[in-house]
Amino acid sequence: MRSAVYPGSFDPLTIAHVAIAETAIAELDLARVEFCLSVDPLGKPHLAATLDERVERIRSAISGRTDLCVVTSPHRLVADIAATYDVVVLGADKWEQVLDPSWYGDDPQRRNDAVARLPLVAVAGRTGSAPSTPPEAQVHWLSVPAHLADVSATAVRMGRTEWAADPASEPDRHTGVEE
């Protein structure tokens, strides 16, 4: 059976992240999706929660599931993280980041080489987003329910705690104390 990696900061994991993983499992006949947190995430120097806190919150949110798990990686680039998987799952924002040459020293050829190394890319689009698909990439657009399109980790951190995958483990935004 095929496996997938879903890299991100997951600060915090949202109901949309879980739905995207479930959609990838269903549409691509995957045995498992691994939420992968980079030890040193690219472009995310100041996250609200530590790596250990995020790993524990994800474990809590997916407890009892055999088709979802959480792992960490020393790699920063999606192409490096995805090297041993059959599929890499990405949101539209992350896909646009992968395609941005600025993450490759403004070198389009380095970007093209990294994209060519990717396995099948399963992308969950956002309302109004239509990132390009370079010829080097194999892309499957996931059919994620429309009502989840605007769910974001940023919104959860700003108070939309009902969008957190594990709302009970999210710190109260006013006190900083976990419920």
Is 60 exceeded by the pLDDT of residue 174? no
The CATH number assigned to the domain with range 2-169 reads: 3.40.50.620
Per-residue pLDDT tens over the stretch 28-50:
999 999 999 999 988 887 888 99
| Residue ranges covered by each domain of the chain | 2-169
Going 66 to 147 to 78 to 141, the CA torsion angle's sign is: positive
What number of helices (H) and strands (E) belong to the chain?
6, 6
Residue 85: pLDDT band (50, 70, 90) is: very high
- Any residues with CB less than 8 A from the CB of 55 and at least 6 apart, and which? 37, 70, 72
DSSP state of 171: B
Report the candidate in 4, 124, 23 with the shortest Cα–Cα distance to residue 71: 4
Per-chain mean pLDDT for the chain: 89
Please report which residue ranges of the chain form alpha helices under DSSP H.
15-28, 51-61, 78-81, 92-99, 108-117, 153-157
Higher pLDDT, 169 or 11: 11
Per-residue pLDDT tens over the stretch 109-165:
999 999 999 999 999 987 666 667 788 899 999 999 989 988 999 999 999 999 999
Judged by DSSP in three states, 96 sits in helix
What gap in Å lies between CA 146 and CA 144, rounded to an integer? 6
